[in-house]
Structure 1
Amino acid sequence: MKHLYKKSELTFSLVLVGLYVVLFSIADNLSRSIGIEKILTAPLSVLFVAVLYVWIHKNGLLKKYGLCAFDGKAKDYFYFIPLFVIGSCNLWNGVQLNCSPMETALYVLSMLCVGFIEELIFRGFLFKAMAKDGIKSAIIVSSITFGLGHIINLVNGAELLPTFLQIIYATAIGFLFTMLFHKGKCLWPCIITHSVVNSLSIIGVEGTTTEKIISAVILTAVSLGYTALIYKNKKHCKT
């Protein structure tokens, strides 16, 4: 890992993306064939997180990839209120138990880890690697890549419209999270919000097509609006 990282951080990031997509898709499909959702994905998720964190810590990269304290005042980021809105999105249509208690626990564990993994890969490794050639292009590419990455859900059996909507608002959230990380030098607000969104989906009531469209519009608007506010506020503070 270290040799590849030193040779090319971008290649290292893309290899991680590929490994993540392939391994987790296989684990999800095998879990379904066994008959217990996330039974293999959950331990894989924990292992993936452990390996990444230990490697980052061992190589003194915690601060570089935002696994440190937030650099800034909460009021400058509007006390992160929009993140609470985003984090609650899967509860907007109500709450219900969609799986057995064991499957729910496995799902939540998996999704908590996925939030960490995806943020570290897309906002951490990929963004930092591309930022060497320009911050603006790095923000755009890493955000769009994050959004398009959700197309893998189609392979795992998701419907077309919900997946398309998810790609749209995930791209917007990608811009927000990248801006938060770039300005605050800390990945934890992004990791926590991402993990909460993923985890709560297992107890959320699936909305109608209209409700899904409305939710996607709200999430996209909140994310892009918050991104603009952070950018303008931090720019004003520097002048």
Structure 2
Amino acid sequence: MTEILTKTKPKPAFSENRPVLAIIIIQLLLLFAVSAAGAYATIKELDYTAPVLLSFIPIALALIVYLTLRKKWGFAGFRPLSAIPHGGWKYYLPLVAVLIVIGTNGLKALTPGQIYFFIFFTLLVGFVEETVYRGLILNILLRKSASTAVIVSSLLFGVTHILNALSGQNAVDTTIQIVYSLVVGLSLALLMVKNRNIVPLILFHFVHNLIQFLGNERTSIGPDLLIIAILAAHCVWVGISLKKGKASA
């Protein structure tokens, strides 16, 4: 009987046996795809959005196939919004404040075609980045600890945005963007641990980027610094909530 049970026991997933190696592979594949697409776009003198489109479209398709075949949608946090507890919705309010701050720049004059393109583009980015960092990497690391999952997934999310420095961005803007992406990553990762739902995170990421693409160019770093402060306070708030919940459990 023992032998039969041993033979029929499902084999643990690779990410369960070697979570660190699984995360390294995911991060390296993503960086390689973006870097290769960026090099190709530079050689061919393509539009600045080309590297993301060339790399993220196949990544998005691969993620959809993987999550479907492995039945991992729930694992990655794709759940109905109704699954979020009533008391959990208040933790998204700082994200709304961030969107309001970004929207104060006003909107550019764009054609309907450009608007439709940016809607597709930002939805693609939101889906891929959230699924990779908050859906897969964070959840793989949760088997170790919540703090490890939050910190590592956020650091990797921030490191990925260093690639923007290759597009000719100055050092100050790049530094602010890295800090910005780090606090965004921490904030969203904590929300993922708190409510276990990736859908609001994808929606925020999508709307956040869309407003930036449709909006006027910023003329100062003030709004970015304000957003960093809002998200830093948000991280403290959600972190304290998680500690209290753990203590009362």
Taking structure 2 as the reference length, what is the TM-score of the superposition?
A: 0.79
Structure 1 counterpart of 2:226, one-letter code: I
Q: State the 1:55 CA deviation.
A: 0.8
- CA gap of 1:190–1:149, structure 2 versus 1, over 3 A, is same
Q: Report the secondary structure of 1:186's partner residue.
A: coil
Q: Does the alignment pair 1:16 with 2:26? A: yes
State whether residues 39 and 106 of structure 1, in contact with CA within 8 Å, keep that contact through their aligned partners in structure 2. no
Deviates more, 1:40-49 or 1:221-230: 40-49
Q: Indicate the residue corresponding to 2:3 in structure 1.
A: none
1:87-106 maps to which residues of 2 (within 5 A)?
Answer: 87-97=99-109, 105-106=116-117
Deviates more, 1:155-164 or 1:102-111: 102-111
Q: Report the secondary structure of 2:107's partner residue.
A: coil
1:1-239 maps to which residues of 2 (within 5 A)?
Answer: 5=15, 8-31=18-41, 33-39=44-50, 41-42=52-53, 44-70=55-81, 71-78=83-90, 80-97=92-109, 105-208=116-219, 211-212=220-221, 214-233=222-241, 236=244, 239=248
Q: State the 1:181 CA deviation.
A: 0.6
Instruction: List alignment gaps of at least 5 residues for structure 2.
Output: 1-11
Q: State the 1:105 CA deviation.
A: 4.2
Instruction: List alignment gaps of at least 5 residues for structure 1.
Output: none
Give distance in 2, aligned partners of 1:66 and 1:171: 21
Q: Report the secondary structure of 2:216's partner residue.
A: coil
Deviates more, 1:219-228 or 1:32-41: 32-41
- CA gap of 1:106–1:40, structure 2 versus 1, over 3 A, is farther
Deviates more, 1:168-177 or 1:220-229: 220-229
Structure 1 counterpart of 2:212, one-letter code: S
Q: State the 1:234 CA deviation.
A: 5.3
State whether residues 87 and 194 of structure 1, in contact with CA within 8 Å, keep that contact through their aligned partners in structure 2. no
Give distance in 1, aligned partners of 2:39 and 2:210: 19
Deviates more, 1:35-44 or 1:87-96: 35-44
State whether residues 74 and 80 of structure 1, in contact with CA within 8 Å, keep that contact through their aligned partners in structure 2. no
Q: What is the percent sequence identity of the aligned residues? A: 21
State whether residues 10 and 126 of structure 1, in contact with CA within 8 Å, keep that contact through their aligned partners in structure 2. no
Task: Note the alpha carbon deviations across 1:53-86, whole angstroms, 9 max, x for none.
Answer: 2211211211111011244334433172222222
- CA gap of 1:135–1:46, structure 2 versus 1, over 3 A, is same
Give distance in 2, aligned partners of 1:234 and 1:148: 26
